[in-house]
């Protein structure tokens, strides 16, 4: 239902056809949804059936016809309702990446460090990418700021996790740094 709000909101600001709409979302609102193209088209035709949007077919020369969508009053009402719900709600963030963290003790420390470094690097690349995005207008810039601030925070946390892990590896057995020469009781 989140995505319905998203589509309604974008269409409220200006009418669009599906392709354009998806494009817009991908470029400006990727941080709030993972909606894929067929899902967007599907949702749009469903919303048409529900009377939330009106469709006008548009032909330009011989190019593929477009279906231009615009909000109806019912759509407008639903938008207001969903918007209020969304703004007042709070849904705790779920971190699938924490599953691996929870089982860090199941693999050798060096391996854990290596893998997490890989993750860290990807995060840094992503952050760098976010920071190149030119400032959007309006609320959209809030979203980018949100992403950046969040990612900073995540990077910091991951750094701490890696540091802890390395520390834990250095205390117990003062020596361990001649490669993986042996493999004690792993198993289970």
In 3D space, the residue among 146, 143, 171 whose CA is nearest the CA of residue 27 turns out to be 143
Residue ranges of alpha helices (H) inside the chain are 2-13, 18-28, 37-49, 73-88, 97-102, 109-132, 140-170
By beta-carbon proximity to DNA, the closer residue of 42 and 157 is 42
For a copy of itself, the binding residues in 71-90 under the rule CB under 8 A are 71, 76, 79-80, 83-84, 86-90
Residue 34 lies near DNA (rule: CB under 7 A): yes
79's tokens: 């938008």
Q: Which does 44 bind (CB under 5 to 8 A by kind): DNA, a copy of itself, none?
A: DNA
- Three-state DSSP class for residue 102: helix
Q: Is 63 an interacting residue with respect to DNA (CB under 7 A)? A: yes
- Residue 107: name its binding partner from a copy of itself, DNA, none (Cβ under 5 to 8 Å by kind): a copy of itself
Q: Which of 15, 20, 26, 83 binds DNA (CB under 7 A)?
A: 20
The reply to whether 107 sits near a copy of itself by the rule CB under 8 A is yes
Q: Which residues of 19-56 are buried (b: 16+ CB within 10 A; e: fewer)?
A: eebbeebeeeeeebbebeeeebeebbeebbeeebbebe
Judged by CB under 7 A, the residue of 9, 29, 41, 144 near DNA is 41
User: Number of residues in contact with a copy of itself, rule: CB under 8 A?
Assistant: 65
Residue 10: partners with Cβ closer than 8 Å, 6 or more residues away:
16, 21, 24, 25, 29
Question: Which residues are paired to 71 by β-bridges?
Answer: 53
61 three-state secondary structure: coil
Among 38, 61, 99, 181, binds a copy of itself (CB under 8 A): 99
Q: What is the rounded distance in angstroms from the CA atom of residue 126 to the CA atom of residue 164?
A: 24
The residues that touch a copy of itself, with contacts defined as CB under 8 A, are 2, 5-6, 9, 12-13, 29, 31-34, 71, 76, 79-80, 83-84, 86-107, 111-112, 115-116, 118-119, 122-123, 126, 138-140, 142-143, 145-147, 149-151, 153-154, 157, 161, 164, 188
Residues in contact with DNA by the rule CB under 7 A: 1-3, 17-20, 23, 34-39, 41-45, 60-67
């Amino acid at each position: 239902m989140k995505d319905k709000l998203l589509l309604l909101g974008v269409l409220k600001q200006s009418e669009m056809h599906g392709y354009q709409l998806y494009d817009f979302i991908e470029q400006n609102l990727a941080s709030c949804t993972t909606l894929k193209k067929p899902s967007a088209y599907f949702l749009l035709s469903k919303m048409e059936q529900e009377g939330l949007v009106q469709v006008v077919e548009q032909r330009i020369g011989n190019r593929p016809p477009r279906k231009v969508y615009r909000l109806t009053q019912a759509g407008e009402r639903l938008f207001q309702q969903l918007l209020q719900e969304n703004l007042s709600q709070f849904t705790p963030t779920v971190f699938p990446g924490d599953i691996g963290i929870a089982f860090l003790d199941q693999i050798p420390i060096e391996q854990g460090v290596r893998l997490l470094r890989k993750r860290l690097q990807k995060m840094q690349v992503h952050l760098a990418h976010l920071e190149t995005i030119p400032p959007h207008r309006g609320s959209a810039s809030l979203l980018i700021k949100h992403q950046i601030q969040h990612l900073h925070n995540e990077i910091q946390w991951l750094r701490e996790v890696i540091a802890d892990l390395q520390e834990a590896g250095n205390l117990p057995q003062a020596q361990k740094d001649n490669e993986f020469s042996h493999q004690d009781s792993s198993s289970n």
